[in-house]
Amino acid sequence: MKKLALIAIILIAGCASTNARTSDSDPKLAHLEKKRQALEVSEKQCVDEAMKRSHDEIASITVTPNASLESQTQKINDSRDREVPQCHALADHENAEIAEQERNEYESEAQQERNRAAFIAVLTTSRLQH
User: Would you give per-residue pLDDT tens digits along the chain (130 residues)?
Assistant: 555 555 556 656 555 555 544 445 578 889 999 999 999 999 999 999 999 999 999 888 876 666 688 888 999 999 999 999 999 999 999 999 999 999 999 999 999 999 999 988 888 887 766 5
**The whole model's pTM is what?**
0.65
Instruction: Give 67's strand partners.
Output: 64
- Extents of the domains making up the chain: 2-129
**What is the pLDDT at residue 13?**
59
Half-sphere exposure of 105 (CA within 13 A, CB side): 18
pLDDT of residue 16: 54
